[in-house]
Amino acid sequence: MTSSEPFYKKSTLTLLGIILLVYVMYTLADILVPIAFSLLLAILLNPLNSRLMRLKVPTVLSIILTLLIALIILGAILYFLSAQIVQFGEMMPALKLKFTQILTDLQNFLQTKFGVSIQKQTQFLKDTASGGKALVGQTVSGVLGVFSLLFLIPVYIFLFLLYKPLILNFIFEVFSTKDTNPVAEILHETKAAIQSYIVGLLIEASIVAVMNSTALLILGVPYAILLGVIGAILNMIPYVGGLVAITLPVLMATVTQDGYTTQLFIIGAYLLIQFIDNNVLVPRIVSSKVKINALISVLAVLLGGALWGVSGMFLSIPLVAVLKIVFDRIEGLKPWGKILGDQIPDSYPGQVSPNSATPVVHDRMEKFVDADDRNKEA
């Protein structure tokens, strides 16, 4: 399509293309999500693999060693949490009994204060439980999907690292014409942005896990380290996970302790941690690597969740970061790169001056007006 085509025709075709792309991404989510995670992890592990290859280690062996080191680190983290996971499983009957007692007290409170009979409450719980059977089925299938991912993702990472030269050569041949520098620059910045973002995210999550666990240990909440780590993992979902992470220790304190003082202290501690995270850690560690404004981040997380669920929330920010790098390097797409970024211009065309009702005209517009006046005088 040429630039002389009417706007409605170009916008309609663009909209149809976006709709088709979203439909394909939604339909093929089970295939695309593990591939997307594997690609991110392959980019993250690529420096280690490249360093092993510079030490004259054969390609296949260097990839296997890279994956083995990553699995050892992951296994060490799980082993560190295994004791609390086992204790949590052993405490499940006592926790269930305590939760039942709290639920009974809540039913009596609702009947006394609001006149809602226990029969109606029981019927409501039954309806909720029957409606949740499908959710349980989805959860079981999701757990099975996790186990399949644990097998697929290492295989995908191995193949991405093995065929990296082939993939890069394909990208250069498809997108470069005479000058390969723009394509090389985009690939280099994309790799650097993804690596920096993931590393920054892991550092932030580690700091948040330590702060969460310390706060819960001081407050005497059972399984403090486990809940602190889970909260840090949920906090990796921008703007959404942090709120969800507060509910877990609050529920644990409600089930295991009397009164509600501890719950209030937990909420206060987590709000303080969120304040430190959002105003100190994220700007210095994560946002400094990926220059995306807060509005686009929130929209990307929500749209990613609607498209691919929790996985889409994790993948949304790296995807937007890659799009911004590409948009900034293509002349016709630079305005889209600017709207994704966090640099706010000092002025814009048509802006009204604070001291008068006269719009502040853009420099290029002023030059155009001056040139037109000179032509009239001539």
Task: Flag whether 60 is in a domain.
Answer: yes
Which residues fall within 8 angstroms of residue 244, CB to CB, at 6 or more apart? 234, 237
Cα separation of 26 and 78, whole Å?
A: 32
Residues constituting the chain: 378
Phi/psi of residue 232, nearest 5 degrees:
-65, -35
d(CA 299, CA 185): 28
With CA atoms as reference, report the closest residue to 64 among 149, 148, 150, 154. Answer: 154
**Number of domains within the chain:** 2
- Locate the DSSP E strands across 163-275: none
Can you give the pLDDT at residue 142? 44
Domain boundaries, position 47 = 27-104+148-162
Residue type, 209: A
- Record the tokens describing residue 82, joined without a space: 């295994």
Q: What pLDDT score was predicted for residue 149?
A: 63
> Dihedral, CA atoms, 48, 50, 52, 56, nearest 10 degrees?
180
- 72 located within any domain: yes
Q: Is residue 76 situated within a structural domain?
A: yes
Is residue 83 a part of any domain in this protein?
A: yes
Tokens of 322: 């890659």
pLDDT score for 9: 77
Quick one: pLDDT at residue 133? 43
pLDDT value for 324:
84
Q: Is residue 273 a part of any domain in this protein?
A: no
Whether residue 153 lies inside any domain: the answer is: yes
pLDDT at 304: 86
Strand ranges in 59-197 using DSSP code E only, listed in sequence order: none
DSSP string, 315-353: HHHHHHHHHHHHHHHSGGGHHHHHHHSSPPPS--TTEEP
Residue 48 lies in a domain: yes
Structural domain ending residue among the three candidates 162, 185, 205: 162
Q: Work out the angle between the directed axes of helices 181-219 and 241-256 (0-180°, nearest 10).
A: 20
Q: Are 1 and 10 in contact (CB under 8 A)?
A: yes
Q: What is the CA radius of gyration of the chain?
A: 27
User: Residue 203, Cβ neighbours under 10 Å: how many?
Assistant: 13
* Per-residue model confidence as pLDDT tens for the chain (378 residues): 555 667 667 778 878 888 898 899 888 888 888 888 888 889 889 989 999 999 988 999 999 999 999 999 888 888 877 777 776 666 667 667 766 777 777 777 777 777 767 777 676 666 655 544 443 344 334 444 555 567 788 889 999 999 988 988 888 787 766 666 777 777 887 787 777 778 888 888 899 999 999 999 998 888 888 888 888 888 877 666 777 788 788 888 877 777 778 889 999 998 898 888 877 777 777 666 567 777 887 888 888 888 888 788 888 888 888 888 778 877 777 888 888 887 777 766 656 555 555 555 445 444 544 545 555 555
E strands in the chain: 351-352, 359-360
What is the CB-side half-sphere exposure of residue 277 using CA atoms within 13 A?
29
Question: Which phi and psi (to 5°) does residue 209 adopt?
Answer: -60, -40
Measured in degrees and rounded to the nearest 5, phi and psi for residue 327 equal -60, -40
| Residue 326 maps to a domain | no
Q: Is 360 helix (H, G, I), strand (E, B) or coil?
A: strand
Number of Cβ within 10 Å of residue 340's Cβ equals: 22
